[in-house]
Structure 1
Amino acid sequence: MFTPENTVVGFIGAGVMGKSMAGHLLAAGYPLLVYSRTQEKANDLLEKGASWVESPKEMAEKANVIFTMVGYPSDVEEIYLGEMGLIKSAKAGSLLIDMTTSAPSLAMRIFERAKERGIHTLDAPVSGGDVGAKEAKLSIMVGGEERDFDSIKPLLTLLGTNIVYQGKAGAGQHTKMCNQIAIASNMIGVCEAVIYAQKSGLNPESVLKSITNGAAGSWSLSNLAPRMLNGNFEPGFYIKHFIKDMKIALDEAEHMEMEVPGLTLAKTLYEKLVEMGEENSGTQALYKYWQS
């Protein structure tokens, strides 16, 4: 069992969500090493007692549990499988948990490479956005060996409230694709409902009071629709990262010979927002498509 007495935790990635997640581990008393491409993003953690390392290699040499929360599958591949990456540098018996939304096939490849060196890995992507990360109420979807999941679950409970073991390596990422597919079409419906309310002369805030707790209710409707109405398009989750996720899901669906028309439409609409310069806005900025 991993306790603050026998564990040195490493965390790679100090972005919108990663910084909050790492902060919960630090607050629980775990010695924390931090690395990100931009050290300034980790300043809050360093001021609270975390220690900075200069590379994933250095982290792997010092920590026995390492979480990663980065941007793209290419980042994950470099951090784990690169010449100076975690797999080549980590001590046997270490546990590496990737919480990035990434490709299931990459998660399986990392698992196999790690296993050859006596290193344990889990793919554990999350859902809940910046609010879920700040409040430690994330949903965490985990793939890998069940005994590794059991050993790290006490730390995962510091980050989320809905933590489910989904199966073998890659299963966490496949589950996250299900999550993103559901969100993609739902976001279109949320935006259309808000725009419809406005154009029909209704008070959108009053409309939300009626529909968020009924059959139409969803996390996006409750949390992101109010941001749309307040003109708040700051990222809880970046559009550019959502498009990345949708591309992964579309590739996986194609391999399974599955049609996903809702996902395809959502990706098209979000790509139009990128053309409008909104790639660094939150996903709720889809609302702006109807205002362009």
Structure 2
Amino acid sequence: MMSKEAPRKRFLAIDTSTAMLSVAVVEGTRVLKEVSSSAERNHSLYLIPTVKEVLHALDLGEQDLDGIIIGRGPGSYTGVRIGVTVGKTLAWVWKKPIVGVSSLEGLALAGWQHGLHAEGAEASAGELDMLPLSSIDAQQDQHWIVPLMDARRGQVYTSLWCGEVAADSTPWANLEEDRVRLMKEWVNQLAEKAEVEGTPSSIWVVGDVELHRAEAERLGTLVRCPVQIVGHTIEARWLGLTGGKRLMQGEYDDAHRLEPNYTQLAEAEAKLLGKS
């Protein structure tokens, strides 16, 4: 009897929002190939050769891809612009659907999963390199994930995500949007949110943490749960997971209108920073 299982789709995922350049090809939850390297200020030189390297290693051409996923920021202004421009160009030339996803979401997933496995949590079973994303159940054991990218002068690109530890999927939801925030004020806001809305099982501060470790540690003194601090970099595979889910659901962006997400400080925070 012939299997009725739908053929798996392959997606090219790219992120250049930080000093790390990362390119991956994913097939569902499998990572077929990923190359990440530190290429600060040289993304324009190395991005296309890295894409070619990944495809050549898999013996794939553009005809073997079903879509392109691009990290649209926030992050480095130049890096984000380069990644989005290359992704849009490839989508137009190859006639592939494209979707832009939050680089911070990819960083949140990468840092959180790395931290869990470092703690000894069970890895994905079988051939799965990642667990599929699913909607979150408010009654389950929840963890807050706070991704950080340094934005200088005490600022960070950040957001807030909520995840659960499950055996067969990654329940996942966004709680606070991508923005540039003053780290000191962000810590206070997170503590207040936990007090008003309920304290999670744990809080994970992940990503570019070293310059903001003192504030991350201060968060641990303000909330009634463990605060884990995990330094990690973006891996394109996680953008492939989030963007791949959207593409499989028939969602995609207009390649001509897709714009980077640079984000800005809220007006009150901008005034506060101007006085410092």
- What interval of TM-score do these two structures reach, taking the shorter chain for normalisation? 0.3 to 0.5
Q: Which has the higher strand share?
A: 2
Q: TM-score, normalised by structure 2?
A: 0.36
Q: Which has the higher helix share?
A: 1
Structure number with greater CO (CA < 8 Å, separation at least 6) is 2
Determine which structure has more spread, i.e. the larger CA radius of gyration: 1
